[in-house]
A and B are shown apart, each in its own frame.
Chain A
Amino acid sequence: MPCELLKGFRMLDLADEKGAMCGKMFADMGAEVIKVEPPGGCMTRRIPPFLGDRSGSDRSLYFLAYQAGKRSVTLNLETADGRRLLSELARKADFLVESFPVGHMESLGLGYQALAGVNPRLIYASITPFGDRGPGRNYKAADINVWAAGGNMYLMGEQGRPPLQISAPQAGLHAGAEAGAAAMIAHYARQGSGQGQHIVIDMQACVVWTLMNAQAFPIMHGASMTRNGVFSGALRLARKMVFRCADGHISMLLTGGTAAPSISALVQWMDEKGFAADWMKKQKWSAWAPGVISDASDYEVEQIHDIEDRVERFFITMTKREIYAGGLKRRILLSPVNTVAEIAADDQLRAREFFVPVAHDIDGPVTFTFPGAFAKLSATALAAPTPAPKLGEHNEQIYGGLLGLAAHELAMLRAVDAI
């Protein structure tokens, strides 16, 4: 079912992995998203891993996931004919998103100013690794470089070992989602004023926004957080955030204060099994928040080490599933460190019918299971995902139907490598 939210609005998606998420969100919200690919295909078709580890232009899992619901046309921007076609498409589009090196689209005569001349209503979003004004505006970047530049990498990993990225690169997804949010804000203004505009997304800044305010500690407290494995990077006081259990790990923050009911319930549970120390049973947890308001005392540090140690010995007797079920029942603030397999089997996601089947045709018919709507709307349900397009699948439909090119013109454009 298409979504009514952005029905009738059209986006040209020229973004690579720095912005694929933007068009995906727009497709989910009902916009017609046209992926404009070079004749060799968008580079996201070549991002590993591939389905069954066999490569092929329709087999990249990244491509399948983030180009779902879009249409595909091929267009060679290296040719004058290709550039003319893009300009014609822009005349009929409401949004354009691109992530070429800064200045590249201008050099082709397809920058914001040029396309706004054709279509002043156009909202044109440019995703840049490090902004468009600094000394690094022309820097090359893989996802890991922006993760590093935005400060998140510095905070991930163990002391004495290299800083880390998440093993599913994230910076481009944040930038794409930010572009989606920004383009919608510009859309609201445009629907009032009639005027489109240029948007620049700073991917590095998008990553800084993931730091949970760690960025302010050097200014406020005169010290930086550091990476610390399963411990928080907290100043003065390392707190264990991830505990071992029988078949994996559990995430939990042992603190009182507003979380007092949770830690009380945990201690009660531990006591039933003989794992609670006497001091834990007597502790007034609502008043226990070491290091939050003032520095932790030596005694509090001792308490922290003792309870962390006992919690781990308690958890090691149970599986993730048992601990999560017990935690939910007792309203303890904890959660399992889930694998994708465990997420796939999660009761809550199943009850909400989050995962949805999507019929594909890849070397024959095959049905995949996709994450469904990122939000549930009462009046305009988001669109169910449809398959990512084959390369140039919609050339006839878009160039013929939308731009009104005749069959012989399409054939000629093909012959001169324009599409």
Chain B
Amino acid sequence: MAPFALDGIRVLDFTWIAVGPITTKYLADNGADVIKIESSTHIDVLRAAPPYADGKFGINRSQFFADYNTSKRGVTLNLSHPRARELVMRLVPWADIVVENFTPKVMRGWEMDYEHLRQVKPDIIMLSSCLQGQTGPQAAMPGFGQLMGALSGFYYVSGYPGGDPAPPYGAYTDFITPRLAVAVLVAALDYRRRTGQGQYIDVSQFEASLHFLAPALIDYFATGRVLQAQGNRSERYAPHGAYRCRDEHGSERWISIAIGDEAQWQGLLGVLGNPRCEERFATMLGRLENPDALDDFVGAQVRERGAWELTAALQAVGVAAYPVQSCLDLHQDENLDAFGFWNWLEHQEMGSAPYMGVAHRLDATPGQLRSAAPALGQHTDEVLQEMMGLSAEEIAQLRKDGVLM
């Protein structure tokens, strides 16, 4: 078996919900030993969020939680108990990396912030990721990604022209930050290997996400222009949008099409059977300047076509097109399948289910979903015995004292 890229790396993971757990999942799927610390008095709230296996709620049944926490070990510690802190501080020297995404006061309150951790492990790398960063007047703002999607501008620039916002589904920015956090965290790890220097990394989800709107921000500062929601309008492509095809299995089916030059336009017309079209659509400028009429024209031409049949025909003549895939469609998508995206894992309570795989492939040291997400406290005894040398009796006593809940 190929080695993992991060074999031997040890991570103490206090994260919950999405940004933190997805960040540490990259490490875990690449071989790092990630120990997720939870408390049954303060569980990762995704454990209580659907979808659930068989649609039935249970603390160990959420696929939402399961997808973001593969390949990790799970330990329950009641962190408000003083003995729990003592146990954590014994684990810190073992760790290369500590990651957390609470609001800033939480780790400070437990005296487990960077200043405290580096006293016991001077070269520790610690990454904190809260909504708005560790400093500043709104650092303490609690919340989740849905709010950040609005705060950081993505909601405003999503929708039909002049209408209410039609925001991206869910906590959109939660899926921007982890990619940036992983890159900088692993870079810091390599830097430490070369220099012996650990460090603290403060990732504001607000700031990280704004990099995905950078051109609009630079434009505003330079010219005062405020980017507006413009439906599927583009300044580069016309037609550009989603067009309804023939329904399939009683459901709406749409195709996305983007035409960027004359050859592609001729390709589209050919696939549509060279229908008569208005003179103003004859030039790229004419198409760009009459997008609504153009959408009506294309929409009428494709309404009775099958989304996949049309995609194949358009791609065969070099036109960018793809069906608008529903969540169900994704599970039947041949391209995702060929990439090996869906990974079926067996979970002790949830049974077998398809998990989202890694979105990239390292050919020499491929990552792998090594195990399903831990049940709450699944590895508590194992970790305390193996890593701290505690006996079964000591563990039983800690449990009785309410430290391990």
Contact = CB atoms under 8 A, between A and B. Distances in A.
Contacts of B233: 167
Interface string A18-32: 000100110001000
Given A130-B335, A178-B179, A337-B155, A145 B256 contact: yes
Nearest to A175: B359
A269 interface: no
B326 A154 contact: yes
Contacts of A292: 48-50
A161 interface: yes
Interface string B180-203: 111110111111011001111111
A378 B200 contact: yes
A244 B165 CA distance: 10
A379 interface: yes
B89 interface: no
Interface in A173-190: 173-174, 177-189
A336 B150 contact: yes
Contact of B335 (A151, A204, A206, A221): A204
A338 interface: yes
B155 A251 contact: yes
B284 interface: no
A48 B324 CA distance: 25
A205 B359 contact: yes
B169 A230 contact: no
A51 interface: yes
Interface string A134-167: 1111111110111111111111111001111111
Contact of A186 (B145, B243, B362): B362
Interface in A75-115: 112
7 contacts: A147-B256, A149-B335, A173-B212, A340-B217, A347-B137, A369-B221, A376-B133
Interface in B116-166: 132-139, 141-160, 163-166
Contacts of A211: 169-170, 327
Nearest to A295: B55
B289 interface: no
Given A152-B169, A154-B327, A212-B64, 4 more contacts: A232-B169, A242-B167, A338-B151, A375-B180
B206 interface: yes
Interface stretch (B75-83, B268-276, B312-320, B378-386): B312-320
A246 interface: no
A62 to B, nearest CB: 5
Of the four ranges (under 10, 10 to 19, 20 to 34, 35 or more), the interface on chain B belongs to 35 or more
Given A139-B315, A181-B26, A212-B175, A242 B165 contact: yes
B147 to A, nearest CB: 4
A150 to B, nearest CB: 7
Interface string B235-247: 1110011111000
Contacts of A41: none
Contacts of A410: none
B256 A209 contact: no
Interface stretch (B104-112, B223-231, B389-397): B223-231
Nearest to A159: B252
A191 interface: yes
Interface string A326-353: 0010010111111111011001110110
B191 A380 contact: yes
Contact of B168 (A210, A218, A337): A210
B188 A380 contact: yes
A168 B216 contact: yes
List 5 tightest A-B contacts by C-beta distance, closest first. A134-B338, A212-B170, A251-B150, A142-B258, A134-B335
Contact of A149 (B144, B149, B323, B358): B323
B222 A157 contact: no
Given A185-B26, A375-B202, A229 B359 contact: no
Nearest to A253: B146
B365 interface: yes
Interface string B276-320: 000000000000000000010000000000000000000100111
Given A154-B325, A186-B5, A229-B164, A51 B223 contact: yes
A220 B54 contact: yes
B184 A219 contact: no
Contacts of A293: 48, 57
A180 B179 contact: yes
Contact of A64 (B218, B230, B235): B218
Contact of B354 (A48, A219, A380): A219
Contact of A151 (B197, B325, B338, B339): B325
